[in-house]
Chain A
Amino acid sequence: MPRSWDSSHSKRSFHIVRKVIMSFAIKVNDNTHSVDVDGDTPLLWVLRDVLGMTGTKFGCGIAQCGACTVHIDGIATRSCVTSIESLGKSQITTIEAIGNTPAGAKIQKAWLDHEVVQCGYCQSGQIMSASALLASNPHPSNADIDDAMSGNICRCGTYVRIREAINLAAQTNEKRG
């Protein structure tokens, strides 16, 4: 039977009352951009088509595949269902800058060391989800990994290596306790 993956962490919990605004100021990777689009335009298309940041990928448009994952104030978020008007002063981080964060750099290195990628199209989103996981949970269990990563589809089936790479990256974190 069809089953919808829980995409709750992709939904923003607040809304800004819509006003007649001609443009929105958004902060992406520490740069502020002014964009002139409808307020309900998903962040994904602003990143890709307006700002030309093509590292964030389109996969489904309904928060089912995770290819479009970015961080909004550090939280892994599906940009395909996140409207530009919902962002306010939030800090957006994309794959292009995730390597500047400690968790992102560790994840990228583990991805290379463990040779995770195949076609690579979903990997921006996988890395964004994994980086958010590692930043908030330095030593994730297998169940934690399932929980954080099962919203990201990989058609090449790199899941086995993604799990191993996250464990590899976690090993470089200080032992807990």
Chain B
Amino acid sequence: MIPDRIAFCASDTNLSRRSFLGTSAAIGGGLMLSLTLPLGRSEAASSDSFAPNAFIRIGSDSQVVLTMPYVEMGQGTYTSIPMLIAEELDVSLKQVWLEHAPPNEKLYANPLLGVQATGNSNAMRGAWKPLREAGATARIMLVAAATKRWGVDAKSCRTEDGEVIHVPTGRRLKYGEVVADAANMPVPGNVTLKSPGDFKLIGTRAKRLDAPEKVNGTALYGIDARPAGVKIATLAQSPVFGGRVKSVDDTAAKAVKGVRQIVRLDDAVAVVADHMGAAKKGLAALKIEWDDGQHAKLATEEIARKLEQATLGSGAVAQNIGDADKAMASATTKVEASYQVPFLAHATMEPMNCTVHFRKDECEIWIGNQAVARVQAMAAKEAGLSPDKVIIRNHLIGGGFGRRLEADGAVRAVQIAKHVDGPVKVVWTREEDIQHDMYRPYWFDRISAGLDKQGKPVAWKNRFAGSSVIARWLPPAFKDGLDPDSTEGAIDLVYDLPNFHVEYVRAEPPGIPTAFWRSVGPSHNVFVTESFIDELAAAAKQDAVAYRRALLGKSPRAKAVLDLAAEKAGWGQPLPKGTGRGVSLQFAFGSWLALVAEVEVSKAGTVRVQRVVCAIDCGTVINPDTVQAQIQSGIIFGATAALYGEITLKDGRVEQTNFDTYQMLRMNETPTIEVHVVESTEPPGGMGETGTSAIVPAIANAVFAAAGRRLRKMPVDASLLKRA
């Protein structure tokens, strides 16, 4: 029997113990450890455990508890982060127990984001050095404690599987036997990390630590929280964003067996009941009249038109190289196109939910969220409490994809809980989840290029318009009309483009909230740039791989993955009629990825993705199995969007409701996926999102190869591809 290794949630005890351990310069980079506070040391000793930093606690029973600064939402962090720490601490993963980090920006901020959040595929990039150092620091202090007891030199000792071993005599001390002494050892200033040749764990296919409880039903997600006496609520929010409740007739709802209470808010109504069955039945029995407000007539087409107009003006210059206008004027051939990508919902398998117990002077929250400090701050504001009076209990996450970087669900649950005596779990129906998501922005791009006589691009101009999620979510990162997310994948391209000009126009759509969505900026930009480079190859009458390859003089790692993917995919070999191959190449999230998709276009115009071959260079691989799993995952997520993904508004309302109208790729539509990883000792790149952005243009380019039709608007529209 494999024990469940994930503690239910971070307890108050941990919080208070942790609060004695300060930190140095966690925000904006730098070392996240603090080992200097004497108060913390004495507290750690009296609590009978060794807690050299905010990530590691070792008890006198040798139990190793690791506090996870990054959340687990499927991407494997609760295995790869322990691998980093265990590698340097020299413990086996079998000795490790995990707990979710409590909100604490000082201790648990992602050094690359400056906030406590898991996103942008950068947990490994942020953790790579600091968390190995955390493990190494603890190990040095444990060794120092053992050598002091033995009266021997540290150089004569080594560590293995949670023990200090004195090599000449073979004496051994378990870490637990020296924890009290270790807490009083001097903190090493600089620690030397293992060289890659000495890695025992990093680079291995270590088994997921969260898998056993995920196959037997004991894993706990936010939606599984059941504090004593909890009631279940579900809700209807104004179907038009910004609308309000005009009137509610709750007579019939109150008569439903198990319904306890109806909570009316300005823009939502909740039914509180003994169980979700009664809450849903009560909700269906409510008669609500809405005041739709100013967006009552809003339609997607209107938003698209406004974005298109925005690309006619000027925007903030995201990148300029050479003189694109001059080069364009003297080009032999000019190619122009416009591209559009739709609003997308996240549709995490675990619908939005949050449990809140609102008490007189504090508030307790059970949730699965990618940014718990944000949840704490926003919930505190809504509750009228100081953040330290808001206790957050984070959980495993049943799908994040950016949706759970937001705190709207927690704020809504607090609003409801204020009216409820005792804890209440607010569970959104799937319909609410899809119709009140915060959506991947709609984007409109106007792009052009000039080719010389040989067909080589001598000028590249791109102006695109859409929402800046960063401007709302992390305002300081939005500067001079630009943010690093909206432009990723549109600038700093792998190609040699001597005259290059890209502008971004921030244009916020009315009446629909936007948010990060797996692969965010690149989900839009890579589709546009990789489709357009394909258009240039076609205009130059050249092979799509050869055309790209000739532009990769400055990008050897990009060239290597392109060559590998093309070779493994059998690029250039004949395919049956109605079938085609498409390629895409990207550098995003710190990783290089080339991808070849094979698609079949039916006579009816439907597209089936049959095979995907990709080559990835993500630097040092922490766990090759996770890399493969994340690529498979990202590809299916992106293919789902390419084939089906579209949220539309009519009369201010989201038209899609559930998985029957917002479709997902299923088992019978899943392509074979081959993943080839380039060996590298460079620092790790991100893996969680890269497949999602790369697959979309590969599919579009493959459709062009198969059916001769260029797809400039996502998702695939079968009516355009229909053959007589």
Contacts and interface: CB of A to CB of B under 8 A. Distances in A.
A171 to B, nearest CB: 18
Contacts of B208: 115, 117
B210 A117 contact: yes
B574 interface: no
B175 interface: no
Interface string A1-15: 111110000000000
Contacts of B636: 156-157, 159
Instruction: Please indicate which of the listed interface residues A61, A67, A108, A147 has the most CB atoms of chain B within 10 Å of its own CB.
Output: A61
Contacts of B633: 118, 156-158
Interface string A33-68: 000011011101110111011111111111011010
Nearest to A5: B666
Nearest to A52: B226
Interface residues of B, number: 70
B73 interface: yes
**Residue of B232, B429, B658 ringed by the most chain A CB atoms within 10 A:** B658
Interface stretch (B41-49, B243-251, B346-354): B346-354
Highest count of chain B CB atoms <10 Å: which of A62, A108, A152: A62
A1 B662 CA distance: 10
A134 interface: no
A96 B256 CA distance: 30
A95 interface: yes
B216 A121 contact: no
Interface stretch (B372-380, B397-405, B494-502, B545-553): B397-405
Contact of B216 (A4, A56, A99, A147): A99
B214 interface: yes
Interface stretch (B95-103, B270-278, B699-707): B270-278
B349 A64 contact: no
Given A42-B277, A160-B673, A163-B667, A60 B430 contact: yes
Interface in B197-243: 205, 207-208, 210-212, 214-221, 223-224, 226, 232
B207 A112 contact: yes
Given A54-B220, A153-B349, A119 B667 contact: no
Contact of A112 (B212, B274, B396, B629): B212
Contact of B666 (A56, A123, A150, A158): A150
Interface string B655-690: 000111101111110101100000000000000000
A121 B350 contact: yes
Contact of B215 (A2, A41, A117, A147): A117
A112 B211 contact: yes
Contacts of B632: 157-158, 160-161
A160 B429 contact: no
B204 to A, nearest CB: 13
B145 to A, nearest CB: 37
Contact of B672 (A46, A62, A160): A160
B108 interface: no
A127 B663 CA distance: 22
Contacts of B256: 38
B329 to A, nearest CB: 45
B425 to A, nearest CB: 9
Interface string B419-440: 0000000010110000000000
A145 B349 contact: no
Contact of B667 (A42, A57, A62, A162): A162
A154 interface: yes
B278 A38 contact: yes
B405 to A, nearest CB: 15
A145 B666 CA distance: 12
Contact of A118 (B74, B216, B668): B74
Contacts of A46: 275, 277
A111 B349 contact: no
B75 interface: yes
A115 B278 contact: no
B244 to A, nearest CB: 26
Interface string B617-644: 0000000010001001111110010000
Interface in A6-27: none
Contacts of A112: 207, 211-212, 215
Nearest to B73: A119
B381 interface: no
A65 B398 CA distance: 14
A163 B632 CA distance: 13
A49 B274 contact: yes
B627 to A, nearest CB: 12
B446 interface: no
B348 A155 contact: yes
A120 interface: yes
Given A45-B277, A115-B208, A120-B210, A157 B637 contact: yes
B698 to A, nearest CB: 15
Given A150-B666, A155-B664, 6 more contacts: A54-B217, A58-B276, A59-B351, A155-B401, A159-B667, A160-B670
Interface of A: 1-5, 37-38, 40-42, 44-46, 48-50, 52-62, 64-65, 67, 94-96, 99, 108, 111-112, 115-124, 127, 145-147, 149-163
28 contacts: A37-B277, A38-B258, A38-B278, A42-B277, A45-B280, A49-B277, A50-B275, A54-B224, A111-B211, A116-B215, A117-B210, A117-B214, A118-B74, A118-B629, A119-B74, A119-B348, A119-B396, A119-B398, A119-B400, A120-B219, A121-B399, A122-B349, A123-B214, A145-B667, A155-B664, A156-B74, A157-B633, A161-B632
In order of increasing CB-CB distance, the 8 nearest A-B pairs are A55-B217, A157-B636, A121-B398, A119-B74, A120-B214, A118-B74, A49-B275, A95-B217
